[in-house]
Amino acid sequence: MTETTKPLLAALKGGHPDRTPIWLMRQAGRYLPEYRELRARSKGFLDLCYSPDLATEVTLQPLRRFDLDAAILFSDILVVPHGLGQTVWFAEGEGPRLDPIRDAAGLAALDPERVTSFLAPVYETAARVKAALPEGRALIGFAGAPWTIATYMVEGGSSKDFLNTKRWAYGDPDGFQVLIDLIVDATVRHLEAQIAAGAEAVQIFDSWAGALDEDGFDRWTVTPIRSIASRIRAAHPDLPIIGFPNRAGTLYEHFVRNAGVDAVSVDPTWSVEAIATRLRPHVAVQGNLDPGRLVAGGPDLTRRVRKICDRLAPMGGFVFNLGHGVLPPTDPGHVAQVIAAVREADAARV
Ligand SMILES: Cc1c2[nH]c(c1CCC(=O)O)Cc1[nH]c(c(CCC(=O)O)c1C)Cc1[nH]c(c(CCC(=O)O)c1C)Cc1[nH]c(c(C)c1CCC(=O)O)C2
């Protein structure tokens, strides 16, 4: 099978592969007992991300268990601020923490030139995964989008209202632009290094895009992602680029017209009909099962998967996924149920 016939890559370019490709955001992680076992033996989450032997194993775990069409590199979006020189740690049970950066003095300490040497173990993982992938499966690389990365860098961790970041972005846009430009530069280097190591598609996660207003979304989500996408595309014209402007509502339509991506990952609030008529005419689409349905299971889970596939798969340019990441309480048996339902939808069409 040649590279271009891998179902995931064909679908992301708008094609009609033989089978509907499926992968799941956060497909490696705490819902898998084999992940929890390996994680308990690691020194910490970041240590796991920077240990190529362990990270390779964790990346491949979901593909050993399930009939998935892609592996996503096991890493985190916060390795980019870490590589820039910011202090980042994961407090057990508390999520990510960073020493916040709120002004020009904080920016002066960050160095984009350091990112790819610091993150060399991540690229080593990508190369090892690529060499071990089963036939027909693709390797996805990823990064956080500049806006989402900036929220973590400025807030010092997760946040509800992003007030420190918004005060800076809306109150001093030219100053905040310096931070965004720095993240754009670091992100391009980080994605380029993943591609050089073997990534065949990349996804840019803008998890907090839905916190911005229309003008903020244009300047801090669409424009930086377009500049990353155009720089990646200049070097790799055929490599699919997926954007994920999570929970951006009606602004998704602006995104698919202007962000310069090949595909969009769609959050669970979108109806299948609106995906088909408002997004799919512009880009390939990926999504959008509610991760809560994957926790609940039951016949409604299968029904919802069928509804998504029956409307979107015949259009081509469709990748089945969740609308956000797999949740830790998910029963792995429900993942197998979803994949079987996607395959049954394909079989019902031929
Ligand atoms: C916002 C964000 C982060 N990380 C990521 C995002 C964007 C996607 C999204 O919106 O969910 C992306 C991410 N994080 C992780 C991956 C690996 C690949 C995969 O999808 O399987 C990917 C693609 C591993 C991880 N990243 C993290 C874990 C859990 C760490 C552990 O084992 O304790 C994993 C498997 C930790 C993490 N990392 C982050 C948070 C907020 C947390 C803590 C919350 C949580 O634990 O889920 C930041």
* Digit-coded pLDDT (tens) for 103-152: 989 999 999 999 999 999 999 999 999 999 999 999 999 999 999 999 99
Tell me phi and psi for residue 72, to 5 degrees: -110, 130
pLDDT in the model for residue 4: 56
Q: Output the pTM of the full model.
A: 0.97
Question: Looking at the predicted structure, is the pLDDT value of residue 348 above 60?
Answer: yes
**pLDDT tens-digit map of 55-69:** 999 999 999 999 999
CATH number at residue 262: 3.20.20.210
Sorting pLDDT into bands at 50, 70 and 90, what band is 350? confident
pLDDT tier, 220 (very low <50, low <70, confident <90, very high otherwise): very high
Give me the number of domains the chain comprises.
Answer: 1
81 in contact with ligand 1, CB cutoff 6 A: no
Is 26 an annotated catalytic residue?
A: yes
- CA distances 152 to 70, 208, 210, 219, 240, Å, are 28, 10, 15, 18, 27
Hey, what are 6's tokens?
């891998």
Q: Is the peptide bond before 288 cis (omega within 30 degrees of 0)?
A: yes
- Rg of the chain over Cα atoms, rounded to whole angstroms, equals 19
Question: d(Cα 335, Cα 341) in Å, to the nearest integer?
Answer: 10
pLDDT score of 221: 99
Q: From the candidates 76, 181, 218, 290, which is the catalytic residue?
A: 76
Using a pLDDT cut of 90, give the percent of the chain over it.
97
Q: What is the dihedral of CA 259, 136, 311, 326, to 10 degrees?
A: -70
35 lines ligand 1 (CB under 6 A): no
Task: Of 246, 243, 201, give the one whose Cα is nearest residue 226.
Answer: 243
Which residue in the list 19, 39, 114, 278 is annotated as catalytic? 39
Judge if the beta carbon of residue 208 lies within 6 A of ligand 1: no
277 Cα–ligand 1 center, Å: 31
SS3 for 261?
Answer: coil
The alpha carbon of 327 and the centre of ligand 1 are apart by a number of angstroms equal to 10
Average pLDDT over all residues of the chain: 97
Task: Indicate whether residue 79 lines ligand 1 (CB < 6 A).
Answer: no
CA geometry: angle at 339 spanning 338 and 342, to 5°?
90
Range of the domain at 234: 3-349
pLDDT-derived band of residue 1, with 50, 70 and 90 as boundaries? very low
pLDDT at 3: 46
Residue 2: φ, ψ to 5°? -85, 165
- What order do you get walking across the sheet with 241-245 strand by strand? 70-72, 138-144, 201-206, 241-245, 263-265, 284-289, 318-322
Task: Name the phi and psi angles at 280, rounded to 5.
Answer: -60, -30
d(CA 259, CA 299): 37
* DSSP for residue 5: G
Predicted pLDDT of residue 5: 86
ipTM of the prediction: 0.94
Amino acid at 188: V
Ligand 1 atom showing the smallest separation from residue 92 Cα = 33
